[in-house]
Structure 1
Amino acid sequence: MTFEDLRIFVAVCQAGSLSAVARDLSCTQSAVSQHVKRLEQATGVRLLERRPRGVVPTPEGRVLQSAAMEGITGLDLALRRLGELARGEAGSVRVTTGATSVRHFMSEAVVAFREQHPGAVLEFRTETSSRSCFDALAEGAVDLAWVTIGPPVRGIEQRPVVELPWVLAVRADDPLARRTRITPADLSGVRHIRFPEDSSSRTHVDTAFARLGVHLTSDTGVADWDTAILLAGLGVGHAVVPALPGQDSAGTSAGPLRFLPLPDLPPLPVGWAARRWEALTPLARSFADLVGQQRGAASGNTDVATVAGE
């Protein structure tokens, strides 16, 4: 059993095809099959089951696939670190998050990180949901993910950084704009600008409103908070969004929008996710800590990086 045997076996499980992996590796299907056979001989169990349209791992194969993925990700990380040391590089930090999160939550931390680590590489990868961010972590494509904190995810550690209260974004000329806060009864008849069904924000809002007995109607959908706020400013509808850093959530803005508190909705916890916090590079931990410190200072809470129930 070799490292290459395990890597190719994982690739076959993910592709569901021996021939597809052979094409990717520019080798024969027989060569790929030999790697799998060596693993089966070493373990004494059948690892793959042939189907009309390819192969799938057996129950025993799924056990080995899970363990192998864990090991391969750790080894890849170690090899990346060793390569950086050998080349004399300062290293890199790879972060995945939503399209607008860097501007709202990380701008000050990016500047501070660049001043502290001028030789480091900081890479951002945009995803459309927390689930996609978790997948990128599991694949080893990124070091950190900025997500909505939710239920435990196997193999992922989540660390909340800040809790965001909810507000209703309305035009200044809307009848609701005269209120200082919004109650569930006030939401009757609003034209709700909804988030995607697979988004954590949508799930959080829908669950909260269901518990309050609020049923919203919607004819407009958006992919992110900023677009919802933009459309609310255009008078297209009303946006239920988190109170973002720098946003006037007291309803006193002199601009075309008012952000009115929704105190009956539980706040939205957001923060970091990683495969294993203790396995992060010092650079990745430094960036994560800087974001936590900046957001903690902004919210008046300096003890925000506590581990979520994992």
Structure 2
Amino acid sequence: MTLDDLRVFVAVCRAGNLSAVARDLGCTQSAVSQHVKRLEKETGIRLLERHPRGVAPTPAGRVLQAAAADGIAGLDSALRSVGELARGEAGSVRVTTGATTVRHFMAEAVVAFRSRHPKVTLEFRTETSSHDCFAALASNTVDLAWITLGRPVRGIEQRPVTELPWVLAVRSDDPLADRSHVQVADLAHIRHIRLPENSSSRAHLDTAFARLGIHVTSDTSVADWDTAILLAELGLGHAIVPALPGRQDRNGPHPLRLLPIPDLPKLSVGWAVRRWDALSPLARAFADTVTATP
């Protein structure tokens, strides 16, 4: 029994005539008959009744026709979907990252990707650490993870996209606000708003502090970079955060300054995947779009 046997059989049941199907398929009536005979031999029962003006399915034939028609329709739909995926026309892209990443790193890329692939579903899943992003990749629940890059992780490939310098976020009325930049020695005297405990960015910063011999005090911690900046704007402390794309000194009720800290090593961010060569064309296209967008 082959898929062609079933396709021909369903066509014969619908047309009620072997010769009509043969004409549609561009083959002989004998070839059409052979498809039906193979099915009857394998099932061990007659599937068609011959009449003077054509054929009609037997009760067993109607059962097989209904099942085969449903199966062929489902298979054809799946093959169309597979073709669309191969051509990058439809499907889904599943991305995991931090809470503020899409706003700062992907906003323009999402718009550009959507205009090129209007039928594609984009799924964003928020995690609070690179470790959780790696777990999501390992469990195959996401295709891509945007992370703060760090030490190699077995079974995960990491690809840097950009490096972010560090800045100190302070209110414009802060004693440090008039400076063009901040020295690391100045950080020992700030009221530090600490980054999330389990985040790669905090680990990166703590390692830099230890290497430079800097000790900072903190009575406040936050869940993400944006919240740290907001608390600094409200005058609740000083935030050491990456220089996020689009973030600038801000005027308003509580003017904010972002002062470079050139002595701190830059933070590398980018993509993590299980295997680049196993990514779907859509996931690769999305990753490339984000990478190429300034």
For normalisation by structure 1, the TM-score amounts to 0.66
2:237 partner SS:
coil
Q: Which residue of 1 aligns with 2:97?
A: 97
The CA deviation string for residues 117-165 of structure 1, in whole angstroms up to 9 with x for no partner, is 0111110000000100000000000000000011110000000000000
Q: Which residue of 2 aligns with 1:280?
A: 279
The CA deviation string for residues 202-221 of structure 1, in whole angstroms up to 9 with x for no partner, is 10001111111110000000
2:122 partner SS:
strand
Which consecutive unaligned segments of at least 5 residues does structure 1 have?
Answer: 1-80, 299-310
Q: Is the 8 A contact 2:84 2:91 kept in 1?
A: no
The CA deviation string for residues 238-291 of structure 1, in whole angstroms up to 9 with x for no partner, is 00000000112xxx6545100000000000000000000010000000000000
Say yes or no: does 1:246 pair with 2:257.
Answer: no
Q: Is the 8 A contact 2:167 2:259 kept in 1?
A: yes
Tell me the CA shift for residue 188 of structure 1. Answer: 2.4
Misfit runs of 4+, over 3 Å: 81-84, 86-89, 252-255
Q: Which residue of 2 aligns with 1:193?
A: 193
Say yes or no: does 1:145 pair with 2:145.
Answer: yes
Name the amino acid aligned to 1:222.
Answer: V
Q: Is the 8 A contact 2:184 2:264 kept in 1?
A: no
**How is 1:156-195 mapped onto 2 (pairs within 5 angstroms)?**
156-195=156-195
The CA deviation string for residues 90-129 of structure 1, in whole angstroms up to 9 with x for no partner, is 1110000000000000000100000000111110000000
Relative to structure 1, the CA distance from residue 87 to residue 179 in structure 2 (aligned partners, 3 Å threshold; closer, same or farther) is: closer
In terms of mean alpha carbon deviation, does 209-218 or 183-192 score higher? 183-192
For 1:206 and 1:186, the matched residues in 2 are separated by: 16
Q: Which residue of 1 aligns with 2:207?
A: 207
Name the amino acid aligned to 2:159.
Answer: R
Indicate the RMSD between aligned Cα atoms, in angstroms: 1.7
Q: Which residue of 2 aligns with 1:263?
A: 262
For 2:159 and 2:83, the matched residues in 1 are separated by: 32
Q: Which residue of 1 aligns with 2:60?
A: none
Tell me the CA shift for residue 84 of structure 1. Answer: 3.7
For 2:213 and 2:79, the matched residues in 1 are separated by: 56
For 1:234 and 1:103, the matched residues in 2 are separated by: 21
Q: Which residue of 1 aligns with 2:108?
A: 108
Q: Which residue of 1 aligns with 2:232?
A: 232
Name the amino acid aligned to 1:271.
Answer: G
1:176 partner SS:
coil
For 1:82 and 1:212, the matched residues in 2 are separated by: 59
For 2:165 and 2:186, the matched residues in 1 are separated by: 18
For 2:81 and 2:124, the matched residues in 1 are separated by: 19
Name the amino acid aligned to 1:131.
Answer: H
Aligned-pair identity (%):
71
Relative to structure 1, the CA distance from residue 115 to residue 174 in structure 2 (aligned partners, 3 Å threshold; closer, same or farther) is: same
Name the amino acid aligned to 2:113.
Answer: F
Which consecutive unaligned segments of at least 5 residues does structure 2 have?
Answer: 1-77
1:177 partner SS:
coil
Q: Aligned residues, how many?
A: 212
For 1:87 and 1:207, the matched residues in 2 are separated by: 47
Name the amino acid aligned to 1:238.
Answer: H
- Of structures 1 and 2, the larger Rg is shown by 2
In terms of mean alpha carbon deviation, does 116-125 or 183-192 score higher? 183-192
Tell me the CA shift for residue 187 of structure 1. Answer: 1.5
Name the amino acid aligned to 1:244.
Answer: L
Tell me the CA shift for residue 82 of structure 1. Answer: 6.7
Q: Which residue of 1 aligns with 2:82?
A: 85
Q: Is the 8 A contact 2:204 2:267 kept in 1?
A: yes
Name the amino acid aligned to 2:82.
Answer: L
Name the amino acid aligned to 1:211.
Answer: R
